[in-house]
Amino acid sequence: MKTHLQLVRYLISLVVEQLIKIMQNLKPNILLISRYLSDNYLDIFQSKFNCTIFEDIKNLDNFFSNSGTSITGVATFSGINKKLISKLTNLKIISCFGVGYDSIDVNAALERNIIVTHTPNVLNEEVASTTLLLLLAAKRQLISNYNWIIDGNWEKKGNAPLTNTIEKLHVGLLGYGRIGQAIARKLLAFNCNISYHARNKVENSSYKYYKNLLEMARNVECLIVITPGGPDTEKIVDKSVIEALGPKGTLINIARGSVVDEKALVDCVINKKIGSVALDVFENEPKVPRELFNLDNVLLAPHIGSSTHETRKAMLDLVIENLELYYNNKRVRTPVPECNKLINEIYK
Ligand code: 8YV
């Protein structure tokens, strides 16, 4: 028979168990679409929300009919399409991990008054630094120089071939938003001559503005792609733009694979119509065309623009802040611009 003390302990444990259950029910239910999610990030999410990991759901139909209606928020690291949005019938907010949100069907969200947020600004300097890393590595042939040692060429053949400077390089920026402007600032440290092409001329910018992308490509030595992805920019860097850069020109893509016609690019690389290429993004990530492997003039990176511990943590904090603000008082810090009208209506 239980002693009095044992009985009290038992009752307390029952109460605590019930309290935990109640607390869990108070936490909002969110769906994590989690391609880039690391374990410590998952712990942070779980401490604040009741999380279901999309990739762990065994039977989607069961999930949608049993618990789909309880999901009110989505944190996504790799987008969300119209079909999935339509299955989550009580969805109120989609918090995107990244500044680019071309993989989110914002129109489908807006039709249901679902707020979409993203993570601008906190990654500007990091992505700009990665761009400079790619530019320097491409122009100074860092990988070939490393291989020069590993392959024994330094001992057998002597000094490595000379490369080209980025000092005073004439760079054209395709896209001149927050990250484009951060890249321009960093290029100034190398005395680069900067031009840009964007939909509109930016007031207060002293750099040369090109209304026409092809014309800019003809006049610069290096084209840096840093414009949002999506239908408006799909394949705007086409064969003619790549050929205009020419056999001495350099193309850097740090934006989205969709902006460059990848097939045309592979063709131009193979036929030596473009001098050097550095790519951080691809049309069908994580698939990269094999034709681009092991070439001295092609530098490949697996979408690392913002991928430092420090910057990814800042992005994560903003993803969570947007969700918490929404659940606390229906506000968010960084909505995507398309949501401004909806936000104004909610707050009026
Ligand atoms: C992230 C990015 O790698 O912010 C973006 O748009 O492309 C990157 O910073 C990506 O969003 C991962 O979720």
pLDDT tens, position by position, 11-21: 888 888 777 66
CA dist., res. 93 & res. 8, Å (int): 44
Catalytic residue among 140, 178, 218, 303: 303
Question: Prior bond to 161 cis, omega within 30?
Answer: no
Q: Are 174 and 224 in contact (CB under 8 A)?
A: yes
Burial of 142 (0-12, 13-18, 19+ CB in 10 A): middle
**146 and 276 assigned to the same domain:** yes
Pairing of strands 222-225, 208-210: unpaired
**190 and 112 assigned to the same domain:** no
CA dist., res. 109 & res. 81, Å (int): 9
Neighbours of 24 (CB within 10 A): 11
Q: Are 227 and 175 in contact (CB under 8 A)?
A: yes
Q: Which domain holds residue 262?
A: 124-300
Around ligand 1, the residues with Cβ closer than 6 Å are 36, 77, 97-100, 123, 303, 305-306
Q: Which CATH number is 106's domain given?
A: 3.40.50.720
| CA 303 to ligand 1: nearest atom | 3
Q: Are 278 and 135 in contact (CB under 8 A)?
A: yes
**155 and 286 assigned to the same domain:** yes
Q: How many domains does the chain have?
A: 2
Task: Please choose, from the candidates 271, 70, 262, 325, the residue with its C-alpha nearest in 3D space to the C-alpha of residue 279.
Answer: 262
Could you tell me the two tokens for 86?
Answer: 């339509």
**293 and 176 assigned to the same domain:** yes
219 is a domain residue = yes
pLDDT at site 23: 62
305 is a domain residue = no
Q: Which residue has the tokens 């994590």?
A: 32
Catalytic residue among 256, 262, 283, 312: 256
Low-confidence ranges of the chain (pLDDT < 50): none
**Does 4 participate in catalysis according to the annotation?**
no
**Does 203 participate in catalysis according to the annotation?**
no
pLDDT at site 346: 78
**231 and 168 assigned to the same domain:** yes
Give residue-wise pLDDT tens across range 90-106.
999 999 999 999 999 99
**154 and 96 assigned to the same domain:** no
**158 and 280 assigned to the same domain:** yes
**77 and 102 assigned to the same domain:** yes
Among protein residues, the one with the nearest Cα to ligand 1's atom 5 is: 98
CA dist., res. 32 & res. 154, Å (int): 50
Q: Which phi and psi angles does 192 have, rounded to 5°?
A: -75, 155
CA of 198 to the centre of ligand 1 (A): 21
255 is a domain residue = yes
| CA 304 to ligand 1: nearest atom | 3
CA of 126 to the centre of ligand 1 (A): 11
Please give the mean pLDDT across all residues of the chain: 95
The C-alpha torsion from 81 through 321 and 184 to 227, rounded to 10°, is: 10
Its pTM stands at 0.92
- Which bin fits 75, alpha (ψ -120 to 50), beta or left (φ > 0)? beta
